[in-house]
C-alpha cells in the first residue's frame, strides 16, 4: 500500500488515485469466496486469481474518527485522510465495462457457491468478515481492461481523479511533517473548495475531535498541538 508521501504526490499533486488488486489486500478472505467444486486449496486459489486478474478496488470508509483506522491506515496518526463528496464521481474516467460502487456488508458467512458464476456480485465484491465492521467501508470496484497501455502485474493502479470531488483533508495529530507541502497544494485554485481539519485526541475520552483550520489562518501557526513524527515508508 502506498505510504503518506506517495498518496500526497499521487492524489493531491498529480490528481490520481491508486486502486488495488485483490491479492494485495491485507485480508486473505477478501474477494476470496469458497467454490465448492474444488477440493484443493491451491487449485481454487489459481482459479480465483484468474477470475480476479483484471479487478482493482478502491476502499473508502464512512468514519473519519476511528482510532483503529488512524492507527492502521494513517501510519499511527502521522498521516492524513482525504474526504470525498459522496454526491460526485471520484474517478475521472470510470471503466464502462465493469464499474460497481456500494457499501460493504459484514457477516460471519463466507460467500459460497458451486461455481464462481453462481455467486452474486454483491457477495463476491462487497462481503467481508464481521471482524472488519468497524471500518464501515464503501468500495469502488473497477476493471483495468479499459486502461490505456499494456496490463502489467503491479499491485496498485493509478486512475485519474476528479479533484472537485475532494471535500476535506484531515491531518493526524502527529502529522506536522506534512503541513508545508499540503498547504502549498491546497492553496492552488483547483483546491479552493477543500477544507482542512486536524484529528486531535480528546483530553478526557478515547475519541478524536475534528477541528477546522480556516483558510484565512493558514499563514499563522496551527492553533492545535501537532507532533512532528515522520512516518517510515
Per-residue pLDDT of the chain (233 residues; tens, 9 = 90+): 556 666 777 889 889 888 888 888 989 999 999 999 999 999 999 999 999 988 999 999 998 999 999 998 888 999 899 999 988 889 887 777 778 899 999 999 999 999 999 999 999 999 999 999 999 999 999 988 755 545 556 677 888 899 999 999 999 999 988 899 999 999 999 999 999 999 999 999 999 999 999 999 999 888 888 876 666 65
Q: Is 192 among the domain residues?
A: yes
Q: Is 35 among the domain residues?
A: yes
Q: Is 52 among the domain residues?
A: yes
Q: Which domain holds residue 135?
A: 4-217
Q: Is 228 among the domain residues?
A: no
- Could you give the CA distance from residue 125 to residue 59 in angstroms, rounded to a whole number? 11
Q: Is 225 among the domain residues?
A: no
Tell me, letter by letter, the H, E, C secondary structure of 105-172.
Answer: EEECCCCEECCHHHCCHHHHHCEEEHHHHHHCEEEEEEECCCCCCCCCCCCEEEEEECHHHEEEEEEE
| Residue matched to cell numbers 502489467 | 152
Provide the pLDDT for residue 185.
94
For residue 30, give the C-alpha cell: 477478501
How many independent structural domains does the chain possess?
1
Q: Is 223 among the domain residues?
A: no
Provide the pLDDT for residue 146.
56
Q: Is 232 among the domain residues?
A: no
Of 125, 168, 123, the C-alpha closest to 19 is 125
Provide the pLDDT for residue 217.
93
Cα Rg of the chain, angstroms: 19
Q: Is 227 among the domain residues?
A: no
Provide the pLDDT for residue 192.
95
- Could you give the CA distance from residue 141 to residue 130 in angstroms, rounded to a whole number? 20
Which residues lie across from 210 on neighbouring strands?
199
Distances (CA, A) of 191 to 163, 167, 182: 7, 9, 11
Amino acid at each position: 500500500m502506498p505510504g503518506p508521501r506517495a498518496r500526497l504526490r499521487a492524489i493531491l499533486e498529480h490528481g490520481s488515485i491508486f486502486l488495488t488488486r485483490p491479492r494485495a489486500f491485507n485480508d486473505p478472505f477478501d474477494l476470496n469466496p469458497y467454490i465448492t467444486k474444488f477440493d484443493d486449496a491451491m487449485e481454487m486459489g489459481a482459479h480465483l486469481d484468474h477470475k480476479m486478474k483484471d479487478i482493482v478496488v478502491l476502499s473508502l470508509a464512512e468514519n473519519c474518527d476511528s482510532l483503529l483506522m488512524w492507527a492502521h491506515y494513517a501510519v499511527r496518526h502521522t498521516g492524513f485522510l482525504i474526504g470525498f463528496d459522496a454526491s460526485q464521481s471520484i474517478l475521472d474516467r470510470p471503466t464502462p465495462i465493469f464499474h460497481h460502487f456500494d457499501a460493504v456488508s459484514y457477516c460471519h458467512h463466507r460467500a459460497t457457491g458451486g461455481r464462481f458464476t453462481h455467486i452474486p456480485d454483491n457477495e463476491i465484491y462487497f462481503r467481508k468478515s464481521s471482524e472488519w465492521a468497524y471500518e464501515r467501508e464503501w468500495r469502488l470496484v473497477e476493471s483495468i481492461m479499459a486502461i490505456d497501455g499494456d496490463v502489467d502485474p503491479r499491485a496498485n493502479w493509478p486512475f485519474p481523479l476528479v479533484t472537485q470531488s475532494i471535500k476535506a483533508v484531515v491531518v493526524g495529530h502527529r502529522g506536522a511533517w506534512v503541513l508545508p507541502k499540503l498547504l502549498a497544494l491546497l492553496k492552488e485554485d483547483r483546491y479552493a473548495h477543500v477544507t482542512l481539519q486536524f484529528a486531535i485526541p480528546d483530553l478526557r475520552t478515547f475519541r478524536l475531535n475534528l477541528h477546522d483550520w480556516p483558510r484565512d489562518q493558514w499563514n499563522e501557526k496551527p492553533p492545535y498541538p501537532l507532533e512532528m513524527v515522520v512516518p517510515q515508508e
